[in-house]
Amino acid sequence: AYKNSFAQIRLGLTAQYRGNFEEAFQRYNLAKQKGNFYANSLLANLYINGFGVAKNEKTAINLLEDTKSVDPIAAYKLANFYLIDNKVKNAIELLTYAGENEVKDAQYQLHLLYSNEQYIPVDLEKSEYWDLKHKEDTQSFTNKIYGI
């Protein structure tokens, strides 16, 4: 398992679900060091929530920024920070990238964003499109990568 970075990620997730955040952090870091960029999003979660590490939003954002163009999960998570910072155009681009890659939470968020005027003008056609994508019986990207 040591040499397999995806095994490290899955063992880290198991540790995290058991509440062993220190082990999860070590395993995610090991996967990252072995070149698995999907570990960045998991590490960012630990920093966002302060699980096993000191809360550090800046570190989390940097981890997500590093992989936003190759990891749809990181793109989705970073988009939420962009919305908070009112970088709406960038957030929509990241959410669209994530949604097109079967990140179900991103599809649902796009459905909501296009159905109300909080950030952008209403576009019912796009809202319906993302709602249908979200409801499709396809395997989520998160399932595919993390095995959960």
Phi and psi angles of residue 124, each rounded to the nearest 5 degrees, phi first: -65, -30
pLDDT of the residue at 3: 63
What's residue 2's pLDDT?
47
CA nearest neighbour of 72 among 46, 34, 45, 37: 37
What pLDDT does residue 1 have? 46
What is the 8-class DSSP label of residue 38?
T
Per-10-residue mean pLDDT of the chain, 148 residues long, equals: 81 97 97 96 98 97 98 98 97 98 97 96 97 91 83
C-alpha distances in angstroms, 58 versus 62, 90, 108, 147, 148? Answer: 6, 18, 26, 28, 27
The pLDDT of residue 96: 98
**Three-state DSSP state, 49:** helix
Predicted confidence at residue 92, as pLDDT, reads 98
Single pTM value for the model:
0.92
